[in-house]
Chains A and B, each alone.
Chain A
Amino acid sequence: MAEVIEKLTSKDFSSDQEVRWCPGCGDYSILKQVQTILPDLGRPKEEFVFISGIGCSSRFPYYMDTFGMHSIHGRANAIATGLKATRPELSVWVISGDGDSMSIGGNHFIHMLRRNPDINLLVFNNQIYGLTKGQYSPTSEQGKVTKSTPMGSIDYPFNPIALSLGADATFVARTMDRDPKHQQAMIRRAYDHKGTSLVEIYQNCNVFNDGAFEVFTEKSSKKEQTLFMENGKPLVFGDNNDKGIKLDGFKPIIVDINDSSVNDLWVHDETDLVKATILSRFYDDPSHDGHFPRPFGVFYVNNNKATFEQLFNDQIAYAKEKMGPGDLDKLIAGKETWVVN
């Protein structure tokens, strides 16, 4: 008889700990969407593990009634890789932020993506350091005036999507805190993907960087400033869905649908790395003339790369099969021994 898994609810995934993010923080929405998705996955909750680093987002595991580890700054990806390699049957999630993943943990971020363990990596990008009270982050726009940069930051920001594609990530998506339905869809896609799934979530820090993504999230500008990508569908945006993206060779062009045939538009193909790379560069400052809309959705999926834990454990299985299980006494004795009487 198949084991009956009791249907869980989002409440089952809420721990007894009081949530202590600032009121109005975008993190609340993400916590809610994850707690909404998890019961639908049909897995017992002891199989879920949430690992985080340091930062506001990294408090996340305390609020989930699953296994969890709130580790040290930037290292969640390294810890998660060790766990997933040794316990491949678990559903492992990493909760991180722009500072945690792209600054102090930048190395582990790119190396986890290239190794491709089946881990869901949610990066809460608020373009600011919240927990340390308001310094610029590696995704802050140049010129950002903060406590540590009173004359404006001089660093150029990272483009997390382009960085992930550059690290050969096999699943790259972007969503936003203010769009629960889209967020849920992206989290679900991330879970379903076998390999490391990077989901960049635009998350508003209403205390230190309020309104950083307003232009993408507010109803008044959202349609004009964002591009929601759907696989197999033409890239269309604008207040009246009247604008489209066309490719002229490798050069993207914004066209008025009324002047152009829908058939000429770029049709989104999640498996096309070259096109995903072009889309990842739709990263202009929205205040610039002629800028491209900011894409949301799945940029890229590669289902042809084996996961790290698969390769890692296959080698062990193969060694056991080929050489037989190890004999400790033979190992310790080695090939050359002598007897003293």
Chain B
Amino acid sequence: MTEITDKSLESVVIRFAGDSGDGMQLTGTQFTNATALHGNDLATFPDFPAEIRAPLGTLAGVSGFQIHFGSTQINTPGDQSDVLVAMNVAALKVNIKNLKKGGVIIVNSDGFDAKNMRLANVPEAQNPLTDGSLTEYDLKIVDVTKITRAALADSGMTTKEIDRCKNMFVLGLVYWMYHRPIENTLDFLKAKFKKNEAVMNANIKVLNAGWNYGETTEMFANRYTVAPAKMEAGVYRGVMGNQAAAFGLIAASVKSGLPLFYGTYPITPASDILHDLSKYKNYGIKTYQAEDEIAGICSAIGAAFGGHLAVTGSSGPGIALKGEAIGLATMLELPLVIVNIQRAGPSTGMPTKTEQADLMQAMFGRNGECPVVVLAAQSPSDCFTLAYEACKIALKHMIPVFFLSDGYIANGAEPWKFPKSEDLPAIDVSFAQPREASDDKFMPYFRDENLSRPWAIPGTKGLEHRIGGIEKQNVTGNISYDAANHELMTHLRQEKVDKVADFIPEQTIDSGEETGDLLILGWGGTYGALRTATQQLIAEGYKVSHTHVRYINPFPKNLGELMSRFKTVVVPELNNGQLVKIIRDKYFIDAIPYNKIQGQPFMSHEVVTKIKQILD
């Protein structure tokens, strides 16, 4: 028997790929949880088709899940993978280009039969398992389907049911290869199938079979150890972006003492926030699946009028439908959080693919002069912080606030040193107090020092008043078509947004020196790739720094000064140039756009190459 040797690695990228019905997302998520519990730093990237059951065996139906984990700091899911798990020939064909030369390929040989070859448009003579095209790689051919069927031959289950367990075989094998703990997946299977013991036992059996396959066959000469990462001390959990956003909203509800109302309509990739929130009704969370996007935001406006912490959520196409109502909320000067989990557009675009092309929509996508506050999260766990912050600003300033995220961080996961609730900043809310007939008449648009108006909720004696979308006279709130008043109100609504700058943190440099040759200025989900690229450039001796803007409207007060300390400012974005236009307009600097519009995140090596091009 060959001796199995243990090798120690600093970091590894594994990509699980298969048919969209092969359970690759589940496999990836389980591996992520086990890896997080093992103490590695990590980042993940689920990459799947929009169709729930895309045509079987085809290239379009390939679903992938990439995880990058290590004993060092991990910022991205990795540009290229070290290991590719391919459940069929289509999965191999789609993903081989991103596998490192010499990387490990684990294939399910049963996914390379004549039928699968035909579905993937691969001529029979070019079977990659036999035609020698994979000689540069470390190819491991495993009869996953056959072994799974054999293991469950006596289970009494149908072949179809048995085949659904084959992802557990792969998971077990990869767990073995990387010394991952298996227990959390056992617990998961026990909970998931507690009402169907046969399926539970079948999955557990196959998971163990995968592990044992690694142990007993002579196919694998190496196992790998990836030591826990040296991370900041504290208690951690794994978290996905949408999940973190949901927690942030709930936390804001608890800390403000206001019940949360989430009015929405299902849309990829925002629906998971609705799913998550609807689990927590015991926190007083009220979720409302409306008849359409417009009703989603309008119901939230009704709830805001009534004194709730009101939130609506969607993705770009839904935000387009909500535009008029966002204008209404701006005129009503009620607190409202608008969540946009961006996806590739326009129109339906590519719903499961990421993009950052809704920034202009958030900034300007309404009729009339309609400024709102815009925040953008930079990583999965940052979705918690900024969703919380969005609520805090909306409530303090009586104003609509956009919370921007994107498909990449919404579905991506990372370890999170989560906060204690007592350490979260306080959110103080006060409603206008009841009045007697002898008191002065209530003025619904009387403003405080931050220009915000009183929140006078129905049911409060003496505060009867009318608000609406028609221009209002300042202070009284009465309808007004007065020319000077309209200009005044337009300025006041803008100043309200500008005032928020007094309450947000200053912009800081994330990596690199405070001054230098080039500043990489990013926003949103590109954070990890830009950070990695910057650190690599610095290591190579370039005078490059990275800053990431999370508060976009208004910008932090010192942003202009910070940028002025660099000879060149480059703005990489997953769009055709949006933040760069705002930066150029506002600061009158010759910021250089760097754009990628492929529905895919930046790879850090692409960024490195681009920056070198600019500098050299």
A15 contacts chain B at the CB level, 8 A cutoff? yes
Provided the pairs A66-B464, A69-B466, A72-B328 are in contact, do residues A324 and B282 lie with their beta carbons within 8 angstroms?
Answer: yes
Q: Which residues of A contact B419 (CB under 8 A)?
A: 332
Please determine whether A332 and B251 come into contact, CB atoms closer than 8 angstroms: yes
**Chain A CB within 8 A of B192 CB:** no
Q: Which residues of A contact B298 (CB under 8 A)?
A: 71-72, 75, 78-79, 82, 108
From A326, which residue of chain B is reached at the shortest CB distance? B283
> Is there contact, CB below 8 Å, between A81 and B302?
yes
Q: Is the CB of B305 within 8 A of A79?
A: yes
Interface string of B443-463 (1 = CB under 8 A from A): 000000000000001111111
Whether A4 is near chain B, meaning CB under 8 Å from some CB there, is: no
Q: Is the CB of B464 within 8 A of A312?
A: no
Cβ-defined contact, B418 with A333, below 8 A:
yes
Is B259 close to A, CB under 8 A? yes
Q: Is the CB of B421 within 8 A of A83?
A: no
Q: Given A67-B463, A338-B236, 6 more contacts at CB 8 Å? A: A54-B469, A67-B459, A69-B305, A108-B294, A111-B291, A338-B39
Q: How many residues of B contact A (CB 8 A)?
A: 75
B282 partner, pick from A61, A71, A322, beta carbons under 8 A:
A322
Task: Tell me the minimal C-beta distance from B110 to chain A in angstroms.
Answer: 33
User: Is B398 an interface position by the 8 A CB rule?
Assistant: no
Q: How far is the CA of A108 from the CA of B293 in the complex (A)?
A: 11
* Most B-side CB within 10 Å, residue of A51, A85, A86: A86
- Does A62 lie within 8 Å of B247, measured CB to CB? no
Q: Is B299 an interface residue (CB 8 A)?
A: yes
Quick check: is B288 within 8 A (CB to CB) of the other chain? Answer: yes
Verify B328–A83 contact, CB threshold 8 A: no
A-B contact pairs, 6 of them (CB 8 A): A15-B466, A67-B459, A69-B468, A70-B468, A72-B328, A75-B325
Chain A: minimal CB distance from B449 (Å): 26
Of B235, B280, B298, B417, chain A has the most CB atoms within 10 Å of the CB of B298
Stretch at the interface among A41-49, A237-245, A286-294: A41-49
Segment with Cβ contacts to B, from A255-263, A276-284, A313-321 = A313-321
Assess whether A248 is interfacial by the CB under 8 Å rule. Answer: no
In the complex with contacts A319-B282, A320-B284, A87-B467 CB distance below 8 A: no
Q: Does B147 contact A (CB under 8 A)?
A: no
Pairwise interchain contact A86-B282, C-beta atoms closer than 8 A: no
Asked if B247 and A331 make an inter-chain contact with CB atoms under 8 angstroms apart, the answer reads yes
Task: Please tell me which one of the listed residues B239, B302, B418 contacts residue A79 in the complex, with CB atoms under 8 A apart.
Answer: B302
Closest CB pairs A-B (n = 8): A82-B302, A70-B468, A82-B299, A326-B283, A78-B298, A319-B281, A83-B302, A78-B295
- What distance in Å separates the Cβ of A115 from its nearest Cβ neighbour in chain B? 9
Stretch at the interface among B92-100, B226-234, B525-533, B571-579: B226-234
Residue of B36, B292, B467 near A107 (CB, 8 A) is B292
Please provide the chain A residues from 317 to 341 with a CB less than 8 Å away from any CB of chain B in the complex: 318-320, 322-326, 328-329, 331-334, 336-341
Bound-state CA distance A315–B294 (Å) is 24
Interface residue? A17 (CB, 8 A): yes
Is A312 in contact with B286, judged by CB distance below 8 angstroms?
Answer: yes
B residues adjacent to A (C-beta < 8 A): 33, 36-37, 39, 184, 228-229, 231-239, 247, 250-251, 254-255, 259, 261, 263, 280-286, 288, 290-292, 294-295, 298-303, 305-308, 310, 324-325, 327-328, 332, 384, 417-421, 457-470, 478-479
Q: Number of contact residues on A: which range applies?
A: 35 or more
**Cβ–Cβ contact A107 & B295, under 8 A:** yes
Contacts of B308 in A (CB 8 A): 86
A89 proximal to B (CB < 8 A): yes
- Return A283 CB to nearest CB of chain B, in Å: 26
- Provided the pairs A71-B468, A82-B288, A107-B292 are in contact, do residues A338 and B302 lie with their beta carbons within 8 angstroms? no
Contacts of A45 in B (CB 8 A): 464
Chain B neighbourhood of A54, CB < 8 A = 469
The answer to whether A338 touches B288 (Cβ under 8 A) is no
Measured in the bound complex, the distance between the Cα atoms of B468 and A71 in whole Å is 5
Q: Are B281 and A315 in contact (CB under 8 A)?
A: yes
The CA of A81 and the CA of B305, in the complex, are separated in Å by: 12
Q: CA–CA, A46 to B457, complex, Å? A: 9
Is A211 in contact with chain B by the CB < 8 A criterion? no
Task: Judge if A141 is at the interface, Cβ distance under 8 Å.
Answer: no
Most-contacted residue by chain A among B37, B291, B300, B478 (CB, 10 A): B291
| Residue contact B236 to A339, C-beta cutoff 8 Å | yes
A332 with B418: CB separation less than 8 A = yes
Interface residues of A in 63-100 (CB under 8 A from B): 64-72, 75, 78-87, 89-90
A231 smallest CB distance to B (angstroms): 32
- A325 B464 Cβ-Cβ under 8 A: no
Query: Which residues in B have their C-beta under 8 angstroms from that of A75?
Result: 294-295, 298, 325
Q: How far is the CB of A73 from chain B (nearest CB, A)?
A: 8
Closest to B324 in A: A72
Cβ-closest chain B residue relative to A66: B464
- Contact partners of A312 in chain B: CB under 8 A: 286, 288
Determine whether the beta carbon of B261 is less than 8 Å from that of A111: no
B286–A316 touching, CB < 8 Å: yes
Assess the A108–B460 pair: CB atoms within 8 A: no
Q: Which of B239, B294, B308, B417 has the most CB of A within 10 A?
A: B294
Residues of A within 8 A of B261 (CB): 82, 85-86
A80 nearest CB across to chain B (Å): 6
Q: Which residue of B lies closest to A312 (CB)?
A: B286
The residues of B that contact A322 with a CB separation of less than 8 Å are 282
Measured in the bound complex, the distance between the Cα atoms of B232 and A61 in whole Å is 57
Q: Are B250 and A328 interface neighbours, CB within 8 A?
A: yes
Q: Given A85-B299, A86-B308 in contact, is the A336-B184 Cβ separation under 8 Å?
A: yes
Residue of B nearest to A80 (CB): B302
Q: List residues of chain A with CB within 8 A of the CB of B303.
A: 82-83, 85-86
Query: Which partner residue on chain A sits nearest B418 by CB separation?
Result: A332
Least CB distance from B303 to A in Å reads: 4
| A 12-49 binary contact with B (CB < 8 Å = 1; else 0) | 00010100000000000000000000000000111101
User: Is B467 a contact partner of A329 (Cβ separation < 8 A)?
Assistant: no
A335 to B43, CA, bound (A): 20
Closest residue of chain B to A315 (Cβ to Cβ) is B281
B186 to chain A, nearest CB (A): 13
Give the contacting residue for B466; candidates A62, A72, A331; CB below 8 A: A62
Enumerate chain A residues within 8 angstroms of B469, measured Cβ to Cβ: 54, 70-72
How far in angstroms is the closest Cβ of chain B from A117?
10
Establish whether residues A331 and B462, one from each chain, have CB atoms under 8 Å apart when the complex forms: no
Shortest Cβ distance from residue B366 to the other chain A in the assembled complex, whole angstroms: 12
- In the complex, A6 Cα to B247 Cα: how many Å? 46
Asked whether B39 lies within 8 Å of A82 as measured between CB atoms, the reply is no
> Knowing A86-B302, A336-B238 touch, does A49 contact B325 (C-beta < 8 A)?
no
Contact of B33 among A70, A81, A328, A336 (CB under 8 A): A336
- A15 cross-chain contacts in B, Cβ below 8 A: 466
Chain A residues, CB < 8 A from B457: 87
Q: Which residues of A have CB within 8 Å of B229? A: 340
**Interfacial residues of chain A within 136-193, with CB under 8 A of chain B in the complex:** none
Q: Are the CB atoms of B306 and A78 closer together than 8 Å?
A: no
**CB <8 Å contact, A86 and B295:** no
A333 to B420 alpha-carbon distance, docked (Å): 9
User: How many Å lie between the Cα of A315 and that of B289 in the bound state?
Assistant: 15
CA distance A337 to B146 in the complex (A): 37
